Structure 1
């Protein structure tokens, strides 16, 4: 999907179709802050649209071709169908239509760009980098695929020449960016509905690393086999510098993870303690990546390590929703087996010797079909695993593919109807236990309801 990127000042009035989405609103927010005339629409009236209207964007609810008005460039969200009246009218009028990533790339021009890619951990790591830099006295522009409590928003125009952005590999659009520093947290087979084969996924990351200039750097996680292999392949090309981070002895940035309160990172022989407020080995690795980026950008190591203590998490990334009867309820966006394992590992560390109960909603028929066995193995780490029906998102049903493909392989779990999920969890959870809602769909809405059922 590589393309030439238009300069921001050449876009004219920009109209966003689907402006309420977290990724779309991020780009729109930055454009408005930079003086670009922006308009946008969405099917629903969402809070972020009011924020954008207050900032100066022209916002409408509902799709109609008249909403295009005097727009000169169109940005369409990935969920927008070809028969959307605004998109159809734009194409009929011959207006340029940009993918969200192309619009974001236009806002990056003239900046030192840091992109974070990987099958998992992108939003959290990007958030950590932005929070760290701001706490260390740097004011970056940033665009993140999740709201970040410590930042108050998911995107902003900063005063420095640094731009930090999450780079989404799901549809290959991360190839539209031109980073100076590229972080790769991990590389696994996923989004096979787009790529077709694992080999095509790995090749796309090779192409991503190849975007780096001679004075750039690839920061790859040495603890992940896919990212390590990418680092080795990139280093063999000799065209850009490669630096690894992780617990491995040969990592350039060493992570020492003794659990909560005992996390530190090392550059050379100098060890720096990190006051990390989020649990789990995966978050410790994300913190090591953020530390490495900051040091590459000239932040003193001591200041970088201290600044990580300001990160309190990202929305839907092991986010505490509340508690009742001594039971803590968390929500996590995990939708790949590796992410589910990481979320449950974090829940175990928080629960101590108490039990962990999970409500999981599979995301996409294609992903459920490909990874049913792996999902079941990951979910069996919970004491109770309840499985909802598949959240279809953009896909049509696939014959024979249901949540039973996962549930039938579970040792400690079962399918549960939406109407009985809350009562079932409230019945099994006791003082000190952790309840975790997991998935990329609307399972997130269950968290507050579970808290209420627990008397919280």
Structure 2
């Protein structure tokens, strides 16, 4: 792709977290950026404030006239989350426009530039954001394409400094639709390889093959950091990558130890075969986030970042929007929001919350994401949610899917072992909680449950 010849870029699904980062990148380059999405959101509002014109009407009439008149200098970027019968998508297909998936465009951007790619069923957004932050604090010129809004930069895109050398790219590598196979990583991380997206892969073994294919993209002189849990499920013997380095919380080469959960942070020691750094304090709580930090610290040290800069970077990292985000912290009154939408993520999240607040009753509000995921992992969801004392289930958020007969949130209820469990609508959630006065409240899910965060924050602050 010759970026210099492109004058206009139109995004189908511009409000997606990954799509919006690329939209911001093209906007920074001075291209005219426009887009379509199904509904407005805080993210599309922000893009519009940055000068991008966005329509929420899926029609030919809503396509900017300049896009229709100058096909040769236009790039159309789309996401598989857009339905195949979408009017704008089919217009561009029928007219012969150059259409590329978001992942392909990321591949164009990372080609020929030193790239750190972070993949995994869960943990990739936090880990890639930590890597980017530690490198930036350590003085490395970076450009980062992330899958969440970092609290430090209030963006999912970190732009390089103009007066420094060519940047290192940090990118979140998405396994959905095998998107990560378009990337060109020199260093990669595999945080987890638990089955997911079975609507795409078919079964867990095929998904493992996808992760193997991703690992095979790393050149022989590159490095692969793989979590201890992932290494036990994904044998990589015989891979051309010379350095396959295992990290985790156990007795592995790159590890965290002496972990102490505190109310708003976790303190731990880091070690690798050459270095020990004691008493690091991470203000994004969770055992799983400590493990993510081990991978990020290891990569930062590879880039020559000093121990002092690592300590400063870990202490100053403020996390990612909707990843273990503590919104209310009062005595007997805590509210935390998290994007978890896979049983293993929920298990790790709730386990860490219970370790932080062992004396309080834990109420979890969960919105399942996708009918297919709910069907495929129903028993596992119920088991993970049973860690909470009180579980409130909302309706399934369909995302890109149509309803499936017999698949509802109710199918999780019987196997949840919590003392209290209930089905509620979003509209009735706060009135219900008013009757039950939660001590530690958590919201969990990747759908539009985020729209409840603001009113729930107000409810918990005033309670």
Shift of 1:415: 3.2
CA distance in 1: counterparts of 2:314 and 2:249, whole angstroms: 18
Higher mean C-alpha deviation, range 206-215 or range 407-416: 407-416
1:420 aligns with 2:432: no
Show the 5 A alignment for 1:178-257. Answer: 178-222=184-228, 224=229, 226-230=230-234, 232-233=235-236, 235-249=237-251, 251-257=252-258
1:263 aligned residue (268, 293, 300): 268
CA distance in 2: counterparts of 1:41 and 1:34, whole angstroms: 20
Check the 8 A contact 1:17/1:75 in 2, yes or no. Answer: yes
2:153 aligned residue (148, 151, 154): 151
Show the 5 A alignment for 1:1-400. Answer: 6-49=1-44, 51-53=46-48, 55=50, 57-65=52-60, 66-67=63-64, 68-69=67-68, 70-71=70-71, 72-159=74-161, 160-222=166-228, 224=229, 226-230=230-234, 232-233=235-236, 235-249=237-251, 251-260=252-261, 261-268=266-273, 270-273=275-278, 274-322=280-328, 326-400=332-406
TM value normalised by structure 1: 0.91
Distance 1:50 1:238, change over 3 A: closer
CA distance in 1: counterparts of 2:293 and 2:89, whole angstroms: 40
Kindly report the root-mean-square deviation, in angstroms, between the aligned alpha carbons of the 2 structures: 2.2
2:444 aligned residue (430, 438, 445): 438
CA distance in 2: counterparts of 1:404 and 1:132, whole angstroms: 43
Check the 8 A contact 1:291/1:305 in 2, yes or no. Answer: no
Give the SS at the match of 1:131: helix
Give the SS at the match of 1:130: helix
Shift of 1:152: 1.7
Which residue in 2 is equivalent to 1:3?
A: none
Give the number of equivalent residue pairs: 444
Give the SS at the match of 1:338: helix
Shift of 1:318: 1.4
CA distance in 2: counterparts of 1:50 and 1:367, whole angstroms: 30
Shift of 1:208: 0.3
Shift of 1:131: 1.4
Distance 1:287 1:126, change over 3 A: same
Deviations 1:19-42 (A, max 9, x none): 222211100111222334433233
Check the 8 A contact 1:291/1:301 in 2, yes or no. Answer: no
Give the SS at the match of 1:424: helix
Check the 8 A contact 1:180/1:212 in 2, yes or no. Answer: yes
Shift of 1:380: 0.9
Check the 8 A contact 2:115/2:185 in 1, yes or no. Answer: yes
Check the 8 A contact 1:357/1:429 in 2, yes or no. Answer: no
Which sections of structure 2, spanning at least 5 residues, go unmatched?
none
Distance 1:445 1:56, change over 3 A: closer
Check the 8 A contact 1:422/1:446 in 2, yes or no. Answer: no
Shift of 1:45: 4.3
CA distance in 1: counterparts of 2:247 and 2:170, whole angstroms: 19
Deviations 1:385-417 (A, max 9, x none): 111121111111212222122111112243322
Distance 1:229 1:373, change over 3 A: closer
Shift of 1:172: 0.7
TM value normalised by structure 2: 0.90
Which sections of structure 1, spanning at least 5 residues, go unmatched?
1-5
Deviations 1:33-59 (A, max 9, x none): 233443323344445445445555454
CA distance in 2: counterparts of 1:366 and 1:94, whole angstroms: 33
Give the SS at the match of 2:441: strand
Give the SS at the match of 1:308: helix
